[in-house]
Amino acid sequence: MSRIVMKFGGTSVADLDRIRNVAARVKKETDAGNQVAVFVSAMAGTTDQLVKWVEEISPMHDAREYDTVVSAGEQITSGLLAIALQDMGVPARSWLGWQIPFKTNQLHSAARIEEIGTDELIRRMEDGIVCVVAGFQGISDDNRITTLGRGGSDTSAVALAAAVNADRCDIYTDVEGVYTTDPRIVPQAQKLDKITYEEMLEMASLGAKVLQTRSVAMAMNHGVRVQVLSSFTDKPGTLVVDEDEIVEKQVVSGIAYAKNEAQVTLVGVINKPGIASDVFTLLADGNINVDMIIQNETEDGRKTDLTFTVTENDLEKAEKILNDADNVEFSSLMTDSNVVKISVIGVGMRSHAGVAATMFKTLADKGINIQVISTSEIKISVLIEAEYTELAVRALHTAYGLDGE
Ligand code: ADP
Ligand code: ASP
Ligand code: MG
């Protein structure tokens, strides 16, 4: 007998037939004698609609009320799944985040889980009851509903799997696992049998939304065995594992793209010690994450252009902070949100040279200009014009020998 946490994403619970399909999958696990907790997302499209309503009613809304509204979709699917299970003769009940409770900090819309109450859930699972839990939700110290950031049901599931010492955490979605790149834009993308936590963490944070980044970090820190698989087929999915479980390491395992990037250039900044510190301290104080950075001096060395990227959502705020700053002098501020960050990822890069050269040559052959570059031990990212996203991803996929049939 195993203790299993299952999570079903929005497309897997998009209508009543699909919810019945989910119930049937859950029943298979209980029939096999396993203890089961199930997390559900909202029906596909629901959370987007809720976010839209909040933004329409007031762009400057109260973040606490945002969470009250956008967490609502998961309440509906958790109740419906519990009913579908009961209808199949499987004892089940639903819980909302606050009823467990999933205690979080007060960072509304991106809250972090601090503690999970597990006693009742464990007792109920041991009694043979399927615990259906609304994903994405928590409750803060001041008794307000919080949400964990878009895609946060993955994190709810992994966090519970860690807290109740589950044998497996199965993340069911609309593709058959983690692929070498987004299968929706590269039909030749191949499903990976295994991927390391580290690579998955990079892939997720660089744009592959198949798992929320935080869920991967949590799985890595707690050694949770995560499997990504389809709720529509019976094929084995992708296991996220430690590096030593992978025998044949690929130089490049995957390619990711992130469209929500924006480039900012401060032109003609006075070139003196402390200037980069001033700029990035201001942005950090404004809670803005800066990603890629380049700096170019003018010929006489007296001025410099400072280029960096932020997420598209932070662009307006970053512009305002810099324009209002009286300790940073520059001649103009240019922005470009029509950009995409393309990244190649692989633990094999540590021991192989030439990965960057292949990337730059492949893009050059397609006439694609690179605007900014950044690297780490296991990834190389470039910023290019957004219109070349698919062309670049496909060309790189071929260049690194990742194409399947
Ligand atoms: P869910 O609603 O089940 O949480 P998501 O939409 O959040 O599903 O994540 C699944 C989607 O992630 C897929 O439909 C796919 O388009 C996208 N995706 C992006 N990169 C990858 C990748 N490397 N492997 C698999 N899916 C990917
Ligand atoms: N429903 C939420 C979202 O769309 C959480 C999730 O699906 O994981 O972001
Ligand atoms: Mg998701």
Predicted confidence (pLDDT) per residue in 382-391, tens digit = 999 999 999 9
Question: At 80, is the pLDDT very low, low, confident or very high (cuts 50, 70, 90)?
Answer: very high
Q: Counting Cβ atoms within 10 Å, is residue 231 exposed (0-12), middle (13-18) or buried (19+)?
A: buried
> Ligand 1 within 6 A of 254 CB?
yes
Q: Does domain 255-399 have CATH number 3.40.50.300?
A: no
pLDDT, tens only, 368-401: 999 999 999 999 999 999 999 999 999 999 999 9
CA pair distance 70, 153, nearest whole angstrom: 13
Question: At 311, is the pLDDT very low, low, confident or very high (cuts 50, 70, 90)?
Answer: very high
Its pTM stands at: 0.94
Average the pLDDT over each of 43-52, 125-134, 294-303, 357-366 and give the range with the smallest value.
Answer: 294-303
To test the ligand 1 pocket, which listed residue (18, 173, 345, 400) has its Cβ within 8 A of the most ligand atoms? 173
Estimate to the nearest angstrom the gap between the alpha carbon of 148 and the chain centroid: 11
**Bridge partner residues of 149 (DSSP):** none
Contact yes or no for 116/166 (Cβ under 8 A)? no
pLDDT at residue 272 is higher than 90: no
Q: According to the model, what pLDDT value does residue 249 have?
A: 78
SS3 153: helix
pLDDT at residue 271 is higher than 90: no
Q: What value does the mean pLDDT take over residues 290-300? A: 89
Cα first-last separation, the chain: 38
- The segment(s) of the chain belonging to CATH 3.30.2130.10 are 255-399
- Per CATH, the number for 3-174 is 3.40.1160.10
- φ, ψ (nearest 5 deg) of residue 149: 95, 150
Q: According to the model, what pLDDT value does residue 300 have?
A: 84
pLDDT, tens only, 190-246: 999 999 999 999 999 999 999 999 999 999 999 999 999 999 999 999 999 999 998
Q: According to the model, what pLDDT value does residue 121 have?
A: 97
Amino acid, single-letter form, for residue 162: A
- The segment(s) of the chain belonging to CATH 3.40.1160.10 are 3-174
Q: Ligand 1, atom 27: nearest CA belongs to which residue?
A: 182
Contact yes or no for 363/405 (Cβ under 8 A)? no
For the range 17-20, what are the long-range contacts, defined as Cβ-Cβ under 8 Å and sequence gap of 24 or more?
18/231, 19/77, 19/80, 19/81, 19/84, 20/84
Q: Ligand 2, atom 6: nearest CA belongs to which residue?
A: 151
CA pair distance 397, 393, nearest whole angstrom: 6
What does DSSP assign to residue 122?
A: H
Label residues 165-200 b or e (16+ Cβ within 10 Å = b): ebebbbbbbbbbbbbbbbbeebeebbbbebbbbbbb
Q: According to the model, what pLDDT value does residue 161 have?
A: 98
Q: According to the model, what pLDDT value does residue 298 have?
A: 80
- φ, ψ (nearest 5 deg) of residue 256: -125, 160
Residues in the chain: 405
The structure tokens 């007998």 sit at: 1
Instruction: List the beta strands (DSSP E) in 252-320.
Output: 254-270, 293-297, 303-311
**Bridge partner residues of 36 (DSSP):** 4
Q: Compute the distance from residue 172 Cα to the ligand 2 centre, in Å.
A: 13
> Ligand 2 within 6 A of 366 CB?
no
> Ligand 2 within 6 A of 151 CB?
yes
Q: What value does the mean pLDDT take over residues 134-162? A: 98
Highest mean pLDDT among 55-59, 170-174, 247-251 belongs to 170-174
> Ligand 1 within 6 A of 184 CB?
yes
Encoded tokens for 122 = 């464990």
